[in-house]
Amino acid sequence: MPKPTHHILVCTQARPPDHPRGSCSGNGSKEVFMRFMMEMARLNLVFKLIVTESSCMGPCAFGPTVVVYPDGVWYQKVTPNDVAEILEQHIIKGQPVKRLLLPDAVWGP
Ligand code: FES
């Protein structure tokens, strides 16, 4: 297997339904992760990148959170219907999907 060009992390952290921070899993991130698996195969990217589940990465209120390395690009509120666009536009064409970018202001000072 060749060294992957990109590593995509999909937060699949779960919390109880009444937890004040909510969770990416509670907002459908497992379905997002599964869509990445399906779309990677469809686009023949299986040997180009790696997609793994992660625990909480911080911006829970903006989840499902997806991060693409080595680019350091953070995506917010990703749905299964966004996955093909991320792969086709960002991974294949090198252009991050602007409408899904997590604002830097989320992180505070
Ligand atoms: S639960 Fe996903 S970023 Fe916190």
- What distance in angstroms lies between residue 38's CA and the mean position of ligand 1's atoms? 23
Mean pLDDT of 82-88: 98
Distance CA 36, CA 55 (A): 17
Q: pTM for the complete prediction?
A: 0.96
What per-residue confidence (pLDDT) applies to 96?
A: 98
CATH architecture, domain 6-107 = 3-Layer(aba) Sandwich (3.40)
What per-residue confidence (pLDDT) applies to 1?
A: 82
- The band of 109, judged by pLDDT with boundaries at 50, 70 and 90, is confident
- What distance in angstroms lies between residue 99's CA and the mean position of ligand 1's atoms? 19
- Residue ranges per structural domain of the chain: 6-107
Q: Which residues line ligand 1 (CB under 6 A)?
A: 11, 13, 23-24, 56-60, 63, 65
Atom of ligand 1 nearest to the CA of 59: 3
Atom of ligand 1 nearest to the CA of 22: 1
What per-residue confidence (pLDDT) applies to 13?
A: 98
Distance CA 13, CA 45 (A): 25
- What distance in angstroms lies between residue 36's CA and the mean position of ligand 1's atoms? 18
What per-residue confidence (pLDDT) applies to 15?
A: 97
Are β-strands 6-11 and 66-69 bridged in parallel, bridged antiparallel, or unpaired? antiparallel
